[in-house]
Amino acid sequence: MSLENCSIVNFPVIHDPRGNLTFIEGDNHIPFDIARVYYLYDVPGGAQRGGHAHKVLSQLIIAMSGSFDVHLDDGDQKRTFHLNRSYYGLYVCPMIWREIDNFSSGSVCLVLASHRYDESDYYRDHDEFQKVVKERQGDTLS
Q: How far apart are CA 118 and CA 54, in angstroms?
A: 10
- Interacting residues of 110 by C-beta distance below 8 A, sequence separation 6+: 37, 38, 39, 61, 62, 63, 64, 89
Residues 98-127 contacting ligand TYD, CB under 6 A: 117
- When binding is defined by CB under 6 A, the residue of 3, 5, 31, 49 that contacts ligand TYD is 49
CA-wise closest residue to 85 among 48, 110, 105? 110
Q: Please confirm, yes or no, whether 126 is among the known catalytic residues.
A: no
- Residue 125 CA to chain centroid, in angstroms? 18
Q: Which is nearer to ligand TYD, 13 or 36 (CB)?
A: 36
Catalytic entry in 15, 29, 52, 71: 52
Q: Which is nearer to ligand TYD, 26 or 50 (CB)?
A: 50
Q: Which is nearer to ligand TYD, 17 or 44 (CB)?
A: 44
Q: Which residues are identified as catalytic?
A: 52
Q: Which residues bind ligand TYD (CB under 6 A)?
A: 36, 38, 40, 49-50, 52, 117
